[in-house]
Structure 1
Amino acid sequence: MRPSDDFQAPGLDLFHFPPLWPGAPYWLTKPILMAGVGIILICALLWAAFARPALVPRGLQNIAEMGYLFVREHAARPFLGKDADRWMGLLLSIFLLTWIWNLMGVIPLVQLPVTSFLAFPAVMALTVYVIKIYVGVRKWGAGAYVSNLIPRGLPKLAYVLLIPLELLQNFVTSLFTHMLRLAANMFAGHLLLAFFSAVGFWFLFERPTPLGVPVGVLGVVMAIVMTGFEMFIQFLQAYLFVLLTAMFIGDSLDPEH
């Protein structure tokens, strides 16, 4: 059997996209297009839901309010308390946009989770990072803001290690963990779905053999199962991303909360 006839598992080429058409700017690729579509879709849905709100919500307004209540009760209020409603515009937008970008990985013909490209979670995480520092410094002042990050009441010797670790965690690692958690999960999920789909296509259609057909059937079954599981992970990662956003902002506004 020639090497070209061997099954080739999907690799990093899944995440390489040329410009949309010859001569287009190098940055104008499918991920950029899908990111823009996601933004427009969220704006359109929220406008349609709340442009003329009814006292008794129905249809799209009812669905949008369910999303609003979910973010408020399970992300905003636990960390922002009485300030939760002030931040709901930002938190709801981040949650819905992250979720839509994630879901694009299982939408037929699109099949591309925008958040698997690190640049997109990085922009959102960096925005949250700037906001949390800004609101903390604005409320407490720079010195008190940094001081609030250090727990009180510990033995003095403990602060030799604790202070550098707390500063590192709040000013460096929190930013990277915020964006990497989302990007890594979407990246891995996309690869898994592509792998099982490729197995099914190869052994059932491309190179069917008596021994290969059962493997192909298993690949199709696993692709279906993993699609359902990935949809759950996509929702969960959107929730965790907005949960961390609320936690970071809440810690800046009220370190004792």
Structure 2
Amino acid sequence: MGRLVLAEEGTFVPPGAKDFDLPPIFGDVTKPMVLIVLSVIIILAFFLLASRKLSVVPGKFQFLAESVYDFGRNNIAREQIGSKEFKPYVPLILGLFTFTLVNNIFGIIPIIQFPTFSHIGFPLALALLIVFPTYHIVGMRKFGVGKYLKKSVMPAGIPKPVYFLLTPIEIFLKFFMDPITLAIRVFAAMFAGHLILLVFTLGGEFLLIEASAPLKPVSLVAFLMAIAMTFLEALIQVLQAYIFALLSAGYIGSALAAEH
């Protein structure tokens, strides 16, 4: 990135990728690692506390937990996998949704202010180690290895000569690109969103403190933009968690479907 020179008081260096490489807190443990563990604790505590004293007429906390569960169960898992086969996968889909959501929301929580999934390793590990092994294993268990691989990379109704071109593309997409794009989608949104917030926040601070007097009022615009972008980022964080879980359920549903 370039440098933006404002008056003679100093030079504003825009934030970049280097600002996401946080130093270790202790040993080799970094803030994103701590946040990953914290997110698991928060999710477990949320559902355990909400289900501790269940009642027919739920209180606000129980109602919130039931709403999250119902959303993951019916609006994601059931819709994407199908009403006959979705139940065994509800815990996985609900876990993916809540885990991604909490780690995304960390980006706008004061003091924490860091979306864990802005580090590509975390969503990539989730896609490569959990989503896609599950996606392929459930299909192989249902149809057998040979039949599953055939229906995955050799779609029905295609002229045989076309398979010479289509099959390598299908193999590349389903076994290499799909998990990578699933991870990149949420990573890119979290990285870009957090970077924009940094630009407006640090830019506003620089204008207020370092810029010449005529430019200082512009800092108010930067701060207002930072506030507006925070609300927009919150929406995107929720949306990306939903999309990650939705696509994961969609992959499982396609593996279980009779034909692609």
Q: If the length of structure 2 is used for normalisation, what is the TM-score?
A: 0.91
Asked if structure 1 preserves the Cα contact closer than 8 Å seen for 2:106 and 2:116, the reply is yes
Separation in structure 1 between the aligned mates of residue 91 and residue 171 of structure 2, nearest angstrom: 29
Cα drift, residue 74 of structure 1: 2.2
Give the aligned partner of residue 168 of structure 1: 172
Contiguous gaps of at least 5 residues in structure 1: none
Cα drift, residue 157 of structure 1: 2.8
Report the 3-state secondary structure (helix = DSSP H, G, I; strand = E; otherwise coil) of the residue aligned with 1:199.
helix
Asked if structure 2 preserves the Cα contact closer than 8 Å seen for 1:203 and 1:213, the reply is yes
Cα drift, residue 18 of structure 1: 1.8
Alignment of 1:58 with 2:63, yes or no, is no
Amino acid at match of 1:182: V
Report the 3-state secondary structure (helix = DSSP H, G, I; strand = E; otherwise coil) of the residue aligned with 1:6.
strand
Separation in structure 2 between the aligned mates of residue 117 and residue 180 of structure 1, nearest angstrom: 10
Cα drift, residue 120 of structure 1: 1.0
Identify the match of residue 197 of structure 2 among 177, 193, 218.
193
Report the 3-state secondary structure (helix = DSSP H, G, I; strand = E; otherwise coil) of the residue aligned with 1:211.
helix
Alignment of 1:35 with 2:36, yes or no, is yes
Give the aligned partner of residue 129 of structure 1: 132
Asked if structure 2 preserves the Cα contact closer than 8 Å seen for 1:102 and 1:113, the reply is yes
Asked if structure 1 preserves the Cα contact closer than 8 Å seen for 2:9 and 2:210, the reply is no
CA gap 1:85/1:55 in 2 versus in 1, 3 angstroms:
farther
- Partner deviation per Cα, 1:137-185 (whole Å, 9 max, x = no partner): 1111111011111321122232222111111111111110011111111
- Partner deviation per Cα, 1:193-227 (whole Å, 9 max, x = no partner): 000001111111x2143331232111111101110
Q: If the length of structure 1 is used for normalisation, what is the TM-score?
A: 0.92
- Partner deviation per Cα, 1:114-156 (whole Å, 9 max, x = no partner): 0111111112111111111111111111110111113211222
Separation in structure 2 between the aligned mates of residue 166 and residue 145 of structure 1, nearest angstrom: 13
Give the aligned partner of residue 251 of structure 1: 254
Cα drift, residue 234 of structure 1: 0.2
Amino acid at match of 2:249: A
Identify the match of residue 145 of structure 2 among 142, 147, 151.
142
**Alignment identity in percent?**
37
Matches within 5 A, 1:18-167: 18-21=23-26, 24=27, 26=28, 28-81=29-82, 82-126=84-128, 127-149=130-152, 150-167=154-171
Separation in structure 1 between the aligned mates of residue 16 and residue 120 of structure 2, nearest angstrom: 17
Identify the match of residue 232 of structure 1 among 223, 232, 235.
235
Identify the match of residue 12 of structure 2 among 7, 14, 26.
7
Amino acid at match of 1:96: T
- Partner deviation per Cα, 1:58-78 (whole Å, 9 max, x = no partner): 221100111112222321112
CA gap 1:255/1:219 in 2 versus in 1, 3 angstroms:
farther
Give the aligned partner of residue 177 of structure 1: 181
RMSD (Å), alpha carbons: 1.8
Asked if structure 2 preserves the Cα contact closer than 8 Å seen for 1:199 and 1:215, the reply is no
Contiguous gaps of at least 5 residues in structure 2: none
Separation in structure 2 between the aligned mates of residue 53 and residue 89 of structure 1, nearest angstrom: 19
Asked if structure 1 preserves the Cα contact closer than 8 Å seen for 2:156 and 2:259, the reply is no
Separation in structure 2 between the aligned mates of residue 64 and residue 50 of structure 1, nearest angstrom: 8
Q: Runs (4+) of structure 1 moved beyond 3 Å?
A: 1-4
CA gap 1:3/1:143 in 2 versus in 1, 3 angstroms:
farther
Report the 3-state secondary structure (helix = DSSP H, G, I; strand = E; otherwise coil) of the residue aligned with 2:160.
coil
Paired residues in the alignment total: 252
Amino acid at match of 1:78: E
Cα drift, residue 3 of structure 1: 9.1
Report the 3-state secondary structure (helix = DSSP H, G, I; strand = E; otherwise coil) of the residue aligned with 2:55.
coil
